[in-house]
Amino acid sequence: MYSNKTTTLVTAEEMKLIEEEIFSAGMPVASLMEKVALKTAQKIKELYPIKEKKISLGFMVGCGHNGGDALVIARELYYQGYDIVIYPPLIEKFKELTAHHFKYASSLGIKIVSNIKALSICHIIVDGLFGFGLTRKITDNLAEDIAIVNQWNKPIISIDIPSGINSDTGAVLGIAIKATHTLCLGLYKKGIWQDRALEYLGQVERIDFNIPPAFIDKITAEFPTTELLTQEKVQEILPLPRHVTTYKYKQGHLLLICGSKEYAGAALLSAYGARSSGVGMVTMVVPDSLKPLINSQLPEMLVIGCRETSLGSIETLPLLDWQKYQWVCCGMGLTKEAVSVVKKVIASGCDILLDADALNIVANYYLLDELKNRHGKTVLTPHDGEFERLFPDLPFVGMADRIEETRQGAIALNATILRKGAKTIISDNINTWIIPHGTTALARGGSGDVLSGFIGGLLAQNNFTDTISVDTVGAAAWLHQRGGILASEDLSTLGVDGVTLSQYILKAVNELKRNGQWFFNETC
């Protein structure tokens, strides 16, 4: 019953409100701190057990309850036989509870120092300067202390969040601790999943302290929710059951509009992505000159060649029976010349996914209103650069909260937006998913083309079900990253080209199937 919602991300405001619910229900503040800190001390003990040699821990203790947590952890580890040194630079600002714990720790004879350099003899640093209460830039002596500690190259364990990171936006407020471990307390703070915080976090673990789920639900219901997409959820979204009497047109027909003489590979890679989705039929619309290449590489695809410009882009679309297709995926390698193509796709009334040059054309020709008011479902898959080009004037850009920006973008365009990056974000105006895992092996040309084709193929198949787009897109992105991880485990980070990725996505699908109920659902 009290297995906490491990996947919900909270802002500092939500965390404070949840904390208030706990306290007003009768839990004393000091008892909660004691419980949280004991569990955190236990985790540190597991991470760095005392063997033959003593281990010394240097604690940076702030003035708020993050500092209070640090003092309780220090005391408990002192009892367990660790050498403890405490550095409290904000001693004159201590909150009451923090001051009590400091007094008690001092009374036990724990060593207190007044210069950060005295922690240089410690094996490990514990960062309890600031948690989610940090509001302002860190400056002056404190900033210097953090710079010194970061230079030492020692293991650093941050309590709740690395000090200096804004717990909502992930922004570095002046300077931040570069942790090797972040032990996040209770619920994941949103800032931990923002791309710009990633290099400060090290390994992240959550310390559960049994927050009653009803309190979490009550508070998070009042705010837009952001959730980590888990394997269990992906298994719920993607059984893609196949009826025994199904046939190709019942498994979805995807229309890919892509490619140019210059970017022929983008068309191929998106087709390989679509192939990995198992979609029933794929028709590709490409410039005439690409037809032989596609036919030789992907013989199962239907190919419609188009008249092309002198630079080798599609000049105009032929007459298409749009109603035949369950999803239309457009933009990969199209070039910025293909303006009339993108306009026709937007006006088609079909369910569409726009990527790459289709997004650049929307931005260059101010097609945002056409996009917003169109009939049919819209999925957009920008990376950060494309996202910023799409929304240059809107007030939320520059808010510096990638997750919130993506949600606001989805609202503004009445679309599902997948924002690519180290942490992929998928949002419509109701649900926001974060893909928790990922690999830098995907940071190379073509990974995104594979993703678009794969998403398109799954959307085309799932269009026969009542699965909402944001869930299908999320599941596709989850499998895409997982495929990248499996490929890099076999072939190294250097070995994950687009074609290889498209094949390993299928390994990720099979892995899901082995771990879940697909086997039983397959013919239902």
Ligand X SMILES: Nc1ncnc2c1ncn2[C@@H]1O[C@H](COP(=O)(O)OP(=O)(O)O)[C@@H](O)[C@H]1O
Contact positions vs ligand X (CB under 6 A): 356, 383, 420-422, 424, 438-440, 442-443, 445-449, 451
CB nearer ligand X, residue 67 or residue 446: 446
Residue 98 binding K ion, by CB under 5 A: no
Shortest distance in whole angstroms from residue 93 CB to ligand NPW: 6
Q: In angstroms, rounded to a whole number, what is the distance separating the alpha carbons of residues 447 and 356?
A: 12
Which of K ion, ligand NPW, ligand X, none does residue 136 bind (CB under 5 to 8 Å by kind)?
Answer: ligand NPW
Sheet strand arrangement including 8-10: 188-189, 8-10, 226-228, 432-434, 425-427, 416-419, 378-380, 352-354, 327-330, 253-257, 281-287, 302-306
Q: In angstroms, rounded to a whole number, what is the distance separating the alpha carbons of residues 500 and 483?
A: 9
Please give the structure tokens belonging to residue 508.
Answer: 């990720």
Please give the structure tokens belonging to residue 301.
Answer: 């695809």
**Beta-carbon count within 10 A of 499 CB:** 15
Q: Which residues of the shown chain bind ligand NPW in the complex (CB under 6 A)? A: 15, 19, 32-33, 36, 62-69, 93, 95, 130-138, 159-160, 185-186
Which of K ion, ligand X, ligand NPW, none does residue 138 bind (CB under 5 to 8 Å by kind)?
Answer: ligand NPW
CA dihedral 360, 362, 368, 373 (to 10 degrees): -140
- 330 touches 258 (CB < 8 A): yes
Residue 125 binding K ion, by CB under 5 A: no
Out of 8, 150, 163, 220, the only residue in the binding site for K ion (CB under 5 A) is 163
Shortest distance in whole angstroms from residue 325 CB to ligand X: 23
Q: Sort strands 425-427 and 432-434 into parallel, antiparallel or unpaired.
A: antiparallel
Which of K ion, ligand NPW, ligand X, none does residue 445 bind (CB under 5 to 8 Å by kind)?
Answer: ligand X
CB nearer ligand NPW, residue 117 or residue 137: 137
CB nearer ligand NPW, residue 132 or residue 387: 132
Binding residues for AMP: 420-424, 448
Shortest distance in whole angstroms from residue 303 CB to ligand X: 21
Which of ligand X, ligand NPW, K ion, none does residue 158 bind (CB under 5 to 8 Å by kind)?
Answer: K ion
Shortest distance in whole angstroms from residue 215 CB to K ion: 23
Q: Which helix (H) or strand (E) holds 387?
A: helix 384-390
Please give the structure tokens belonging to residue 465.
Answer: 């079900």
CB nearer ligand X, residue 122 or residue 267: 267
Please give the structure tokens belonging to residue 241.
Answer: 């059951």
Shortest distance in whole angstroms from residue 140 CB to K ion: 18
DSSP string, 13-78: HHHHHHHHHHHHTT--HHHHHHHHHHHHHHHHHHHS---SS--EEEEEE-SSHHHHHHHHHHHHHH
Q: Please return the burial class of 489, using the count of CB atoms within 10 Å of its CB with bins 0-12, 13-18 and 19+.
A: middle
- 253 touches 273 (CB < 8 A): no
CB nearer ligand X, residue 269 or residue 282: 269
Which of K ion, ligand X, ligand NPW, none does residue 132 bind (CB under 5 to 8 Å by kind)?
Answer: ligand NPW
Region of 389 (left: φ > 0; alpha: ψ -120 to 50; beta: rest) is alpha
**The tokens 């003035």 sit on which residue?**
63
- 378 touches 347 (CB < 8 A): no
Cα 294 to chain centroid, rounded: 33
Please give the structure tokens belonging to residue 98.
Answer: 């923090």
CB nearer K ion, residue 163 or residue 220: 163
Q: Which helix (H) or strand (E) holds 56?
A: strand 56-61
Q: In angstroms, rounded to a whole number, what is the distance separating the alpha carbons of residues 416 and 8?
A: 20
Residue 488: CA atoms inside 13 Å, Cβ hemisphere, count?
A: 15
CB nearer ligand X, residue 145 or residue 449: 449
Region of 182 (left: φ > 0; alpha: ψ -120 to 50; beta: rest) is beta
Which residue has its beta carbon closest to ligand NPW?
131
Residue 40 binding K ion, by CB under 5 A: no
Q: In angstroms, rounded to a whole number, what is the distance separating the alpha carbons of residues 15 and 13?
A: 5
Shortest distance in whole angstroms from residue 27 CB to ligand NPW: 10
Shortest distance in whole angstroms from residue 67 CB to K ion: 9
CB nearer ligand NPW, residue 215 or residue 518: 215
Stretch that binds K ion, among 72-80, 97-105, 122-130, 164-172 (CB under 5 A): 122-130
CB nearer ligand NPW, residue 211 or residue 476: 211
Shortest distance in whole angstroms from residue 20 CB to ligand NPW: 9
What Rg, from alpha-carbon coordinates, does the chain have? 26
Q: How many residues bind K ion (CB under 5 A)?
A: 4
Site string for K ion, 251-280 (x = CB under 5 A): ------------------------------
Binding residues for (6S)-NADPHX: 65-69, 131-137, 160, 266, 333, 383, 449
Shortest distance in whole angstroms from residue 125 CB to K ion: 11
Residue 159 binding K ion, by CB under 5 A: yes
- Find the length of the chain: 524
Please give the structure tokens belonging to residue 175.
Answer: 């300077």
Stretch that binds K ion, among 103-111, 150-158, 191-199, 489-497 (CB under 5 A): 150-158
Shortest distance in whole angstroms from residue 134 CB to K ion: 8
**What residue ranges bind K ion (CB under 5 A)?**
127, 158-159, 163
